[in-house]
């Protein structure tokens, strides 16, 4: 049975402890959900996108990225030809054992700015 309040009086507020406890639980839940999404949701979505991206889109993305990198961030490599050949041989040996085989990957040389040493593109470049 509900008690009616006299006119002009307000219902008493809930105790302050319950309010802070609810806020703390909500913040904790939001933090755990964010961490869970970062560790499980993002990799799951990336895997799904990788499996379902058409090869024509991957090739287009790679072409556009390499063109942008050439214009913005890559200079001609300064490695001697013998060193470049050595690294190409190593790369081809590893690529031959990879799932897409030796022809599924390619090595692109350049001198990055500021100083990343490697990156991969969707179609194996």
What is the per-residue pLDDT across 56-70, written as a single tens digit (0 to 9) for each?
888 888 888 888 887
Q: What is the mean pLDDT of residues 81-85?
A: 88
The range of the structural domain enclosing residue 30 comes to 17-52
Alpha-carbon distance 42 to 37, whole Å? 6
Structure tokens at 18: 């319950």
Report yes or no on 3 lying in a domain.
Answer: no
pLDDT of amino acid 117: 63
Lowest mean pLDDT among 38-42, 49-53, 117-121: 117-121
Contact 120, 84 (CB under 8 A): no
Q: Same domain for 91 and 59?
A: yes
- Judging by DSSP bridges, how do beta strands 111-112 and 74-75 pair with one another? antiparallel
Number of domains in the chain: 2
Per-chain mean pLDDT for the chain: 81
Q: Same domain for 28 and 63?
A: no
Instruction: Go through the chain and tell me how many residues it has.
Output: 125
Q: Same domain for 65 and 89?
A: yes
Q: Same domain for 24 and 63?
A: no
Model confidence at 35, pLDDT cuts 50, 70, 90, reads very high
Q: Same domain for 73 and 24?
A: no
Q: Same domain for 63 and 104?
A: yes
Report yes or no on 82 lying in a domain.
Answer: yes
Q: What is the mean pLDDT of residues 86-105?
A: 85
Q: Same domain for 77 and 117?
A: yes
Domain end among 28, 52, 76: 52
Q: What is the mean pLDDT of residues 26-43?
A: 97
Q: Same domain for 43 and 67?
A: no
């Amino acid at each position: 049975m509900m008690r009616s309040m006299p006119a002009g009086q307000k219902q008493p507020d809930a105790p302050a402890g319950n309010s802070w406890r609810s806020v703390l639980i909500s913040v904790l839940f939001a933090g755990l959900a964010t961490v869970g999404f970062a560790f499980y949701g993002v990799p799951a979505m990336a895997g799904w996108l990788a499996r379902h991206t058409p090869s024509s889109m991957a090739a287009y993305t790679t072409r556009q990225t390499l063109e942008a990198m050439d214009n913005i961030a890559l200079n001609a490599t300064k490695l001697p030809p013998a060193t470049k050949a050595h690294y190409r041989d190593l790369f081809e040996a590893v690529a031959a054992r990879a799932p897409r085989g030796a022809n599924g990957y390619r090595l692109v040389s350049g001198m990055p700015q500021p100083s990343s040493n490697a990156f991969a593109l969707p179609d194996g470049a």
